[in-house]
Amino acid sequence: MILGILNEHDQRVAIVPQLIKKFQKLGFEIWIEKGAGETAFYSDADYESAEGKVTSKSEILANADVLVTYHPPSDDDLRALKSQALVVSTFAPYIDDSIIEHLKQFDIIPFSLDMIPRTTIAQSMDVLSSMASVAGYRAVLEAANYLPRYFPMLITAAGSIKPCSVVVLGAGVAGLQAIATAKRLGAVVEASDPRAAAREEILSLGGKFIEVAGANDDIGAGGYAVEQSKEFLQKQAELVQERAAKADIIITTAQVRGRKAPVLLPTSTVEKMKKGSVIVDLAASTGGNCELTEDGKVISHNGVTIIGDSNLAAKMPTDSSFLFSNNIHNYLKIMVKDGQIDLDWENEIIAKSCLKSKNKGEN
C-alpha cells in the first residue's frame, strides 16, 4: 500500500521521517513530494534515509492508495487520484455540508479528521486536540512577544514587578493549554467557559473560574458547547468587561461547533483595556471572539494589539507535524488488516469520519 504526502501551502508536513518505520509495520510505503518537509525542518534526505520515497506530485497522485493532507486537496488533485483511493483530510463538513455532495463526483473514499468522535478511545487520533493544544501554547508566547511587560512577579533592586494578568475565554483544549502555559510563565489567570466540566479543569491548572450563572450545558452535544442564551452572553459580557479593564492579555478560544464564534469582546470592551495589552483571538477564522479581529492579521486599536490567528499550530511545524503523524498512524491502524485496507463500517470512528456512503464504493 502506498501512502502519499503532498507539499502543502502550510509549514507542517503530514508524516515525519521518524514515524515511517511505524507506517511500514502497517504495510505502507511512504511516498512524499519533493521538499514537503522543508518548512517543518525535515529534509528530503531525512525521508530517504528513513526509506521514504521522495518523488513528484503527479507520481504520488497516480499511485497512492491513501492520501493524507492537512487541507482538502484541490479538485484537480482529487481527479488525478486512482480509483477508490482513501483521502484523509480535514473537510469541515460541520461548517459547510455542501462539501459532501461536492466530493461525490470523485472516485475516492473521503475521510474527515474533524469528524472523528471525541471519545476516549479516539483520543490518540484526535488531530483537533493535538493542533489546538499547540495553538493554545503558542498563543501565550505570541502575546508575550507583543506585551511590553514581564509575566512573573519579580522583586528586583530596581523595584517590584506585579505578575501579569491573563484572561482566557473558552477553556477547551486550546484554552486549557493557554492557562497552563501562562501559569508556568508566572501570570495570574482567570478563565470562562459555559461547560460545567471546564470549571474543575480550570481550577486544577491553578486558574480562577469566572462564574456566570445560567449556562446552557448539553451533555448530549458530544462534549462541545452549545449556543448560549442572550441573557447568559449579556451577564458574561459584563463580567468579562470588568476583567478586561484590568487584564494585560486576553486569549480567546470560544467556539460553538458549526456556528459563528460568539462575540465576547465587543469594541466597547476593547476600548476599556489598558494600552499595551494584547488580545490573541484563536477563533479568528470563524468570525472571531473579538469584534475588531481581522483574520490572519495583527492590528492595533487604541493601544491594544489584536492578533487574529486560527492557524497557530503551523507556527510550530516540527512538533505539530510529529503529533499529527502519530494521530494519523493511530487512525490508519484501525483501517488496515494484514497489510491491506479493510474498512470495518461497524467501527464508529470509521463510520462517523467517512464522508461517503457506509458501503465502500457506493455513492
Out of 132, 143, 306, 307, point to the residue binding ligand NAD (CB under 6 A): 132
Count CB-CB contacts under 10 A for residue 96.
11
- Supply φ then ψ for residue 145, to 5 degrees: -65, -35
CB of 216: closest distance to ligand NAD in angstroms? 10
CA separation for the pair 138, 305 (Å, rounded)? 16
Q: With the CA atoms of 106, 107, 113 and 117 taken in that order, what torsion angle do they form, in degrees rounded to the nearest 10?
A: 110
Helix, strand, or coil (residue 296)? coil
Which residue number, 27 or 117, has a Cβ lying nearer to ligand NAD?
117
Q: Residues 170, 254: contact at Cβ < 8 Å?
A: yes
Which residue number, 189 or 264, has a Cβ lying nearer to ligand NAD?
264
Q: Number of residues interacting with ligand NAD: please give it, by CB under 6 A.
A: 32
Q: Which residues of 227-255 are buried (b: 16+ CB within 10 A; e: fewer)?
A: ebeeebbebbbeebbebbeebbbbbbbbb
- Supply φ then ψ for residue 2, to 5 degrees: -110, 125
Catalytic (active site) residue 268: no
CA separation for the pair 142, 311 (Å, rounded)? 12
In the chain, how many H helices and how many E strands? 12, 17
Binding mask 230-269 for ligand NAD (x = CB under 6 A): -----------------------xxxxx----x-x-----
Q: With the CA atoms of 43, 49, 54 and 60 taken in that order, what torsion angle do they form, in degrees rounded to the nearest 10?
A: -120
Nearest to 146 by CA among 295, 309, 278: 278
Out of 88, 188, 198, 263, point to the residue binding ligand NAD (CB under 6 A): 198
Q: Which of 77, 126, 193, 309 is catalytic?
A: 126
Out of 72, 93, 172, 288, point to the residue binding ligand NAD (CB under 6 A): 172
Which residue number, 44 or 319, has a Cβ lying nearer to ligand NAD?
319
Which residue number, 75 or 238, has a Cβ lying nearer to ligand NAD?
238
Which residue number, 257 or 301, has a Cβ lying nearer to ligand NAD?
257
Q: Is 39 in the site for ligand NAD (CB under 6 A)?
A: no
Catalytic (active site) residue 12: no
Out of 225, 263, 290, 349, point to the residue binding ligand NAD (CB under 6 A): 225
**Interface residues for ligand NAD in 178-197 (CB under 6 A)?**
192-195
Q: Is 123 in the site for ligand NAD (CB under 6 A)?
A: yes
CA separation for the pair 224, 232 (Å, rounded)? 17
Catalytic (active site) residue 241: no
Which residue number, 20 or 254, has a Cβ lying nearer to ligand NAD?
254
Q: Which of 11, 89, 129, 320 is catalytic?
A: 129
Q: Which range, of 10-18, 59-67, 146-154, 170-178, touches ligand NAD by CB under 6 A? A: 170-178
CB of 217: closest distance to ligand NAD in angstroms? 9
Out of 39, 129, 181, 277, point to the residue binding ligand NAD (CB under 6 A): 129
Rounded (5°) CA angle 244-280-283: 105
Which residue number, 78 or 179, has a Cβ lying nearer to ligand NAD?
179
Catalytic (active site) residue 118: yes
**Interface residues for ligand NAD in 278-317 (CB under 6 A)?**
none
Catalytic (active site) residue 300: no
Q: Which residues of 195-207 are buried (b: 16+ CB within 10 A; e: fewer)?
A: beebbebbeebeb
Out of 62, 80, 95, 128, point to the residue binding ligand NAD (CB under 6 A): 128
Nearest to 64 by CA among 6, 115, 9, 127: 6
Q: What letter would DSSP give residue 288?
A: -
Interface residue list for ligand NAD (CB under 6 A): 118-120, 122-123, 126, 128-129, 132, 169-175, 192-195, 198, 223-225, 228, 253-257, 262, 264
Active site amino acids: 118, 123, 126, 129, 224
